[in-house]
Amino acid sequence: MLDCTPKELIERTGGMINPAKTCQPIGAMYAALGIHNCMPHSHGSQGCCAYHRSHLTRHFREPVMATTSSFTEGASVFGGGGNLKTAIKNVFAIYNPDVMAVHTTCLSETIGDDVPTIIKSAEVPEGKLVIHANTPSYQGSHITGFSNMVKGMVTYLARATAEDKKEQVNIIPGFVNPGDMREIKRLADSMGIKFIMFPDTSGVLDSPMTGKFHMFPAGGARVDDIRDAGNSKLTLALGYYASSDAAHLLERNCQVPAVTLKTPIGIKATDELLMLLRGKFVREIPYELEEERGQLVDVMTDCHHHFYGKKVAIFGDPDIIIGLTEFVLSLGMRPVHVLTGTPGATLGGPKGILEKEIKAMLAASGLEGRVKAAGDLFELHQWIKNEPVDLLMGNTYGKYIARAEDIPFVRVGFPVMDRSTHPYMPIVGYRGALRLVEMISSALLDRQDRDAADEDLELVM
Amino acid sequence: MAISEKMLDEILNKYPAKVKRNRKKHILVKDLGQDQQEIEANTRTIPGVITNRGCAFAGCKGVVLGPLKDMVHIVHGPIGCAYYSWLTRRNKAKTDDPKKNFLAYCVSTDMQESDIVFGGEKKLARMIDEVVEVFKPNAITISATCPVGLIGDDIQGVARAARDKHGLNITAYNCEGYKGVSQSAGHHIANNNLMEHIIGQGDLEEPPGRYTINILGEYNIGGDSWEVERVLSEIGYEIQVVMTGNGSYEKLKNAHVAQLNLVQCHRSINYIADMLETRYGTPWLKVNFIGIRGISESLRNMARYFGDEALIQRTEEVIERELAEIEPQLEPYRKICAGKTAFCFVGGSRGHHYQGLYEELGITTVLAGYEFAHRDDYEGREVLPHVKTDADSKNIPDLHVTPDERRYRLKIPVERMDELKKEIPLSNYNGMIEEMMEGSIVVDDLNHYETEEFIRILKPDIFSSGIKDKYIPQKMGIPTKQLHNYDYSGPYAGFRGAVNFARDVAMGFATPTWNFIEPPWKSKPLLEGTIEPCSTNKCAEEVGA
């Protein structure tokens, strides 16, 4: 397995080998699926749309409906305006969504299609909406694409119409699973705080089996709610990379103050989220959550000997690896390699902050480690060859490295295509942290059991 | 239930007029009363219609090039195209030297904005250097994604320079996603380049075995090719190369030595099959290794081509032995499958091939179609002279090959070839429609709306297609079977593959999970009780009347 990966590192500048990111449009498609009654539309070659739908379907095991402008060579030379206008007409005639969310591709960006102008001259039925986001595949990653589509929602939909801001919070959950979104909503609910979550893919990409197919399932953020987000008194951007740009846009457009927090993975990040809500809305933390927290601490302490001092390699999307790094540090583990394929900055934002943030976390625990943004899994594998680890955490692609190096592996992040149930089960909040504890300890202990001599096999661990 | 013209019209009436006119030509009801039924295929997808189709890049790098295991396949473009075509297709491969199998590697130039603005040629050249240094592959391919053609990167030039620099076979494929109307354009582009730059470059002059063949259009999904090769080897065939499942550059460059080319997926590889015949005089035989009748007939046709009594005898022995092995295994599955109906919508050959296997399990295919096929895949190659070329197909140039002066050899005498052509599909394919039942539906580029409508009317018991539409019928309570990637199972080809397929399909019907769709409270009232008989007056008093 991966026998062609040498231990010796060389400097490479030709591109990526075994990437730890993908392109913007899939993130935009995912975000658009988090609007109720919305048809995501890919303005490019039909292969883009096919690839994105396929990949999202592999992860969620759910129908992923989206349309495409189906560019031909002619459209690529003369512009895709005609294709998009035809698509808009057909989408509303055949599928009748409330909203069509158009994102661009490297093709339509390279030829410079002016999407807003095309939309303006298209036949959009009365009462229907077409929103858009520019998502050139040659910038950032799928996380950038997610962020850009959420910005599109703010630009097109959110409006400050009320005189006074309402006692409600906007929550931008970031590129996380529907199960995570449900958990974040539960936390806000249990504090009795009114919230608007957008995008919200719960109820869309974890829809139940009922014997009926619904092209637009029951879930997703309502357009009216996203409009009303302009009237909220606060926006919480969970995850700097996936969510903060949209929150700041909303602040500029509608004067809704924005606060960026980490994706609430692990005990510290969840504490921060609840403390912020507590302070801003003057609500006590309910006993239900305090009990969950206590249970988590109880288990973490019960099992500290499973984790303490173990070396971990973590890869995935920026907001996820920040949360995971912080949490494994809380368990006394040593994250020695941390890597993402996404550039460690938002578009136009300061560079190098991701590396700095994670290195600071390590330093606070008296540790040093290799941390890299815009890296690839080929390099991560080489790091592991040079400094072996006890555990690997990341998406499905990590299984090849885990097998090559015979390392216990915990699947987390996007995509997880070789195991089921992940989209339903949260990794956020105290409950999500408890699940991470279970996954990590099972991986480590299964390995210990596998490798133990007969006389050393432990009944109780 | 049969579909009448009127019902078809009702389905299509939901479409805007232009869409209706277009789609009508892509759908037909098999009618034995008509001599030649024409279907429109390989034309543009309508923007905004939910299609299953992909692009030329997917057809070139994803389908044809990707499985070649000892080559590093560099994707020149932004990251996505390389990422999505990385390990997702299940084309398996094994090498004796594990350092010569690169299928688990995804190599992309990861073009950034500055590369789009200033050109990406230098970055591509650097990537080639790095790949040579790190991997030392037997050869390298470079596949272009959309922006490459638009900004005018000369990937052919970069490949030529790198070929000189490294002394390696490095080929470039202008398979930008916008070319053609589907994956099909990419197949053609890959076929042309493989023929021009790789096939025939080896120095083997004689076939390595007495009956040396190539298998074309077999991608070893789920190990299909290995199961077919097991049987072929037992009969006595020597397989020079499989194109391209588990295939290698080392074997491919000597493909010219084969005495017969087998064509499994006609759509993706017929160009090479034709060109091999023109250049080396090697005929091709259309085979179908899916299903018991399919593989048995294919094996018999091969033996007839070689015309050796011992080979014919051996073929019959192997078929008999294999049947004896699998028939008892199939029986329990047949009991579950008997009397059921299927939709069979796949890419460019399986929509046809799997109908036979379904039939052998007692399942009738009531609707079939291809995602990206051409008219000849539906109607047979005799329509080829009548197929209109349009702007999209003209953009993919035909490669004109001529007989190789040194290596061209007639493999069998012309008269015998003519005789054989009357009996077996030698250098010919009769298409899907011919084998379909009266009243069954053929749909080209079946889209989401039509899928829902045809399911509503025909109520199939199983829906076979790909990952994008798999979960749609499943939500309706209909079992699905992915026939692009076999739902991560396989092999499905050959004799033993038929058993795997039967097991998996039967499992789809038999899984107890279907029984739980309706919660118990949906069919039971909330309050339960009995109505006590009483005198009319008393009841009236109680309700306050």
How would DSSP label each residue in A235-274? EEEESHHHHHHHHHHHHHHH---EEEE---BHHHHHHHHH
Catalytic residue among B41, B55, B139, B303: B55
Confidence (pLDDT) at A349: 83
The answer to whether the CB of B245 falls within 8 A of the CB of B92 is yes
DSSP label at A19?
B
Percentage of residues in chain B with pLDDT exceeding 90?
93
On whether the CB atoms of residues A65 and B50 are closer than 8 A, the answer is: yes
Q: pLDDT tens digits for A137-170?
A: 999 999 999 999 999 999 999 999 999 999 999 9
Task: Please give the distance of CA B248 from its chain centroid, rounded to a whole number.
Answer: 20
* pLDDT tens column, B37-90: 999 999 999 999 999 999 999 999 999 999 999 999 999 999 999 999 999 999
Interface of B with A in 366-385 (CB under 8 A): none
Average pLDDT of span A295-309: 97
Respond yes or no: is residue B187 known to be catalytic: yes
Q: Alpha-carbon dihedral of residues A225, A231, A237, A242, nearest 10 degrees? A: 60
Q: Which two tokens stand for residue A401?
A: 């490295």
Q: What percent of chain A has pLDDT over 90?
A: 98
Tell me the shortest Cα–Cα distance from A386 to chain B, in angstroms.
17
> 3-state class of B232 per DSSP?
helix
- Name the nearest CA neighbour of A132 among A28, A216, A235, A219: A28
CATH T-level fold of B211-329+382-423: Rossmann fold (3.40.50)
| CB atoms inside a 10 Å sphere around CB B313 | 11
- Contact of B258 with B237, CB cutoff 8 Å: no
In the structure, what pLDDT confidence band is assigned to residue B535 with cuts at 50, 70 and 90?
A: low
Does B543 have pLDDT greater than 60?
A: no
pLDDT tops 70 at residue B544 = no
Residue A93 has its nearest CB partner, among B16, B181, B448, at B16
CA distances for B334 relative to A6, A329, B337, B353, angstroms: 51, 56, 5, 19
pLDDT tens digits for range B204-214: 999 999 999 99
Rounded to the nearest 10 degrees, how much is the dihedral formed by the CA atoms of B359, B363, B366, B367?
-80
**What pLDDT sits at residue B529?**
83
B83, A22: Cβ pair inside 8 Å?
yes
Q: In sequence order, what are the beta bridge partners of B144?
A: B76
The residue type of B540 is A
Which residues of chain B have a CB within 8 Å of the CB of A10? 130, 133-134
Q: Which residue has the tokens 């990794």?
A: A427
Rounded mean pLDDT, B220-224: 98
Residue B533's CB is within 10 A of a number of other CB atoms, namely 6
- Give B-chain residues touching A27 at CB under 8 angstroms: none
Q: Is A86 helix (H, G, I), strand (E, B) or coil?
A: helix
B89 catalytic per annotation: yes
pLDDT at residue B395, as a whole number = 82
Picking from A402, A391, A394, the residue whose alpha carbon sits closest to that of residue A375 is: A394
Token pair of B240, please? 């020079």
CATH topology for B56-197 is Rossmann fold (3.40.50)
Domains A24-156 and A166-284 share a fold: yes
Q: Which helix (H) or strand (E) holds A287?
A: helix A287-302
Do B228 and B290 meet the contact criterion of CB atoms below 8 Å apart? no
Give residue B61's pLDDT.
98
- Beta-carbon count within 10 A of A345 CB: 19
d(CA B480, CA B483): 9
Is B337 assigned a catalytic role?
A: no
The DSSP secondary-structure symbol of B448 reads H
Q: Please provide the CATH number assigned to the domain covering A24-156.
A: 3.40.50.1980
H/E stretch holding A444: helix A429-451
- Per the annotation, the verdict on B166 as an active-site residue is no
Same topology, domains B56-197 and B211-329+382-423? Answer is yes
Q: With an 8 Å Cβ cutoff, are A14 and B128 in contact? A: yes
pLDDT > 80? residue A108: yes
* Burial class (CB within 10 angstroms; exposed 0-12, middle 13-18, buried 19+) of A114: exposed
Of A23, A107, A378, the CB nearest to B178: A107
What does residue B372 show for φ and ψ, rounded to 5 degrees?
-140, 25
Quick one: pLDDT band at residue B397, thresholds 50, 70, 90? confident
The 8-class DSSP code of residue B217 comes to E
Query: What does the pLDDT look like over A66-77, one tens digit per residue?
Result: 999 999 999 999
Amino acid (1-letter code) at residue A72: T
- C-alpha–C-alpha distance, residues B384 and B398, integer Å: 14
Q: Cα angle at B74 between A315 and B262, to 5 degrees?
A: 120
Q: Is the Cβ pair A138, B80 closer than 8 Å?
A: no
**pLDDT (tens digit per residue) in B457-494:** 999 999 999 999 999 999 999 999 999 999 999 999 99
| pLDDT one-digit tens code per residue, B100-124 | 999 999 999 999 999 999 999 999 9
Given B23, B26, B76, B89, the catalytic residue:
B89
* Amino acid in position B23: R
Please state, in angstroms and rounded to a whole number, the distance separating the CA atoms of residues B406 and B401. 14
Partners of residue B60 in chain A, C-beta under 8 Å? none
Largest CA distance in chain A: 77
pLDDT digits over B305-328, tens only?
Answer: 999 999 999 999 999 999 999 999
pLDDT of residue B538: 57
d(C-alpha B230, C-alpha B211), whole Å: 15
Fold classification of A166-284 is Rossmann fold (3.40.50)
For chain B, the domains span 56-197, 211-329+382-423
Q: What is the pLDDT of residue B541?
A: 56
B540 has a pLDDT exceeding 70 = no
Chain A residues with CB under 8 Å of B107 CB are: 15-17
How many residues appear in chain B? 545
Spans of all domains in chain A:
24-156, 166-284, 289-456
pLDDT-based confidence at residue B545 (cuts at 50, 70, 90):
very low
B365-380 pLDDT per residue, tens: 999 999 999 999 999 9
> Percent of chain A having pLDDT more than 70?
100
The answer to whether residue B537 scores a pLDDT higher than 80 is no
Q: Average the pLDDT over A124-135 and give the result.
A: 98
Nearest-by-CA chain A residue for B180: A72
- The encoded tokens of residue B41 equal 């295929």
Residue A386, pLDDT above cutoff 70 = yes
Average pLDDT, chain B: 96
CATH number of A289-456: 3.40.50.1980
Distance of CA B88 to the CA centre of its chain: 14
Beta-bridged to residue B169, according to DSSP, are B139
- pLDDT tens, position by position, B420-441: 999 999 999 999 999 999 999 9
Contact A405, A27 (CB under 8 A): no
Contact A3 B98 (CB under 8 A): yes
Residue B512, both tokens: 């107890």
Q: Give the side-chain half-sphere CA count within 13 A for B361.
A: 28
| Nearest CA-CA distance, residue A169 and chain B, Å | 34
For residue A4, which residues of chain B lie inside 8 Å, CB to CB? 98-99, 101-102, 105, 134-135
